[in-house]
Every structure is written in C-alpha cells, then in structure tokens.
Amino acid sequence: MHKEAGSVTPYAALRLVPSELSLVPAHTVHAVFELSIYNHSKGMYYGCKASYSFDFKNFYSKEHCLIPLKKLLKSSAFLVEDSCVFAVEILKIDACSPEKKAVVVQKKPTTVQNLFVQEKGFVKGTYTWNMNNFLELDLDHSVRSPTFEVGGHKWYIRMYPRGDLYSTDCLSLYLFLDASDELHLESKKVAVMTLSILNQKNGKHLTKNSGSTLLSKYQCYSCV
C-alpha cells in the first residue's frame, strides 16, 4: 500500500533492508540490486534496478513501486492462489571503512520469498500515551509506554528523549510488538502505522507515517 509523493494510487512496493547486525559503525555499504515480482503467465520477473548506500543512519532503501495494488489483486498472472512471488538480486556490493579503504564482501545468491496476500480491510486502532513528568525523566535513557492491544496483538512504544544511535539530534519514537505476544516467528503480517506528538498550544499533531511493513515477533517500526 505504498503511495508515491503526489499520487493517490497505492502500489505493491519493495525496499531493501540489511540486517542491523551486519552494519558496522562508521562503515558505508553501497549496494546495486534488482527488486522484482514474478509473472506466472510469462514465466518472467518484472522489476527495477536500484542502488543505495547503507549505514547506521540510512539502513533501508527507498520504496520501489512494482505494480499498482489494485492491478495485483485482480491479476491471475502475478497473484496465484493468494500468493505472489517477490525477489531481490544483489548485483554488486562495495563496503568502505572510515579510512575509505575497501572491504571485501562476498556475493550471495538471489533470495525468493513467497508472500501471502489477502484482500481484506485493515484492523484499525489508536493509543494515546500521556506523559505528565517529561522534564523529570532521565533524558539519556529510553522510556517504555504501558502495553496496549490493537488488532488482537500487544504493542508498546519506546521513546528516546534525545534520540538514539540512528537519530542523535531529535526525539525518537519506536513501536514494538510485545515480546509476550504469541506471534510465531514464521508468521508475517502487514501493518501501516502513524506516530505523532501533540502540540498542546494549537492542538495539532506533528505526525510521521510508515509505509506498509512486514513484521515478525521482535521487529519494530521507527519514527523520528
């Protein structure tokens, strides 16, 4: 359900995200890759080639639109028995150290992932976290909200008053799926979320939106 700037048409889109454990502080990883969707009727992948430089502050690429969502849900070529096939091929990887020295990176094979798609409405819900003692917080440490439930799952917000490793100059908010929630590791769901902070003088919210994101038990969303 990704929408490009200035467009109202939702797309099925992909973006590439390296594992945080694979990123080294102050190192930059430049990747050239191709994201695609499989056409079962023609036996071919259709997609786009892209490149991106990943580091600790830029750890996911932009979304790349592959097919309008409306077209995908009506298609018998891309969507077969409620399943569609997406792929990523890593064409080239270059890593640089702070001293601008090249780092040798092994190339790995193409990964193909079957994703289950359902044409159903999203379960909606909201949660408001009122914090009455903000100035009394230890601003160098994160604060966790009470656990709340939306869509049959338990969630919580973690706030970093002075930012964290990925945003050192502004307040950061993260939405987590609670570790006690019984969502199996192999289970995947789609979520679209908005995090906001209220300007109490004018009643308006400063808001950041996420695109559609696949999540598993311990993954989180971030908003800065």
Mean pLDDT of all residues in 42-59: 86
Supply angle C-alpha 178, 184, 185, rounded to 5.
90
Distance from C-alpha of 6 to C-alpha of 152, rounded to nearest angstrom: 33
Give yes or no for a contact between 163 and 140, defined as CB atoms under 8 angstroms apart. Answer: no
pLDDT band at 96 (very low <50, low <70, confident <90, very high): confident
How far CA 157 is from CA of 45, 88, 166, 219, in Å, comes to: 39, 31, 17, 13
Residues 188-210: pLDDT tens digits? 566 677 888 888 888 888 887 76
Q: Could you give the count of Cα atoms lying within 13 Å of 178 in the half-sphere of its Cβ?
A: 16
pLDDT-derived band at 35, boundaries 50, 70, 90 = very high
Looking at domain 11-105, its CATH class is mainly beta
pLDDT for residue 181 is more than 80: no
DSSP state of 181: S
Question: Residue 169 to residues 72, 109, 162, 199, 224: CA-CA distances in angstroms?
Answer: 40, 38, 7, 19, 10
Averaged pLDDT, 6-31: 82
Which of 19, 217, 215, 216 minimizes the C-alpha distance to 108? 19
Lowest mean pLDDT among 47-51, 98-102, 126-130, 178-182: 98-102
Tell me the two tokens of residue 147.
């656990």
Point out which residues pair with 143 in neighbouring strands.
159
Residues 31, 54 contacting (CB under 8 angstroms): yes
* pLDDT, position 185: 46
Comparing 107 with 32, which gets the higher pLDDT?
A: 32
Q: Tokens 């399943």 map to which residue?
A: 83
> For residue 111, what pLDDT is reported?
60
Q: Where are the domains of the chain?
A: 11-105, 134-223
- pTM of the predicted model as reported, rounded to 2 decimal places: 0.48
